[in-house]
Structure 1
């Protein structure tokens, strides 16, 4: 799965259940693997940092 900036994604928990939806704001390969993706989450006023294994790309 190739995730790029501005992709719409779903954040999932360890059981694969949806936690939130948002848009990729930044990808930083120098951060720890579990915080490389900065996500603008719908309904939040700040960024959420997650790893690639917590993301599912929204398919149009």
Structure 2
């Protein structure tokens, strides 16, 4: 599965439990290397969440 900017994702905590949904935004230079994706999360009011692929599940678009 390939993730890219503007994809809608479900964000999982470290136990694999869904925390909410968000959209991937362009990654900036101020992230830790293992935190590959910047997420504008619907459930998070502060800037962005920086997460690895293991914490993201792409939401399939209806066709």
Q: TM-score range by the shorter chain?
A: 0.7 to 0.9
Runs of 4+ in structure 1 deviating by more than 3 angstroms, as ranges, are: none
Which protein has the bigger helix share? 1
Unaligned 5+ segments in structure 1 are: none
8 Å CA contact 2:27, 2:37 repeated in 1: yes
Deviation readout 1:12-49 (Å, 9 max, x if unpaired): 12332101210001246x8421x111000114331111
Unaligned 5+ segments in structure 2 are: none
Aligned: 1:50 with 2:30? no
Which protein has the bigger strand share? 1
TM-score when normalising by structure 2:
0.76
* Paired residue total: 58
TM-score when normalising by structure 1:
0.79
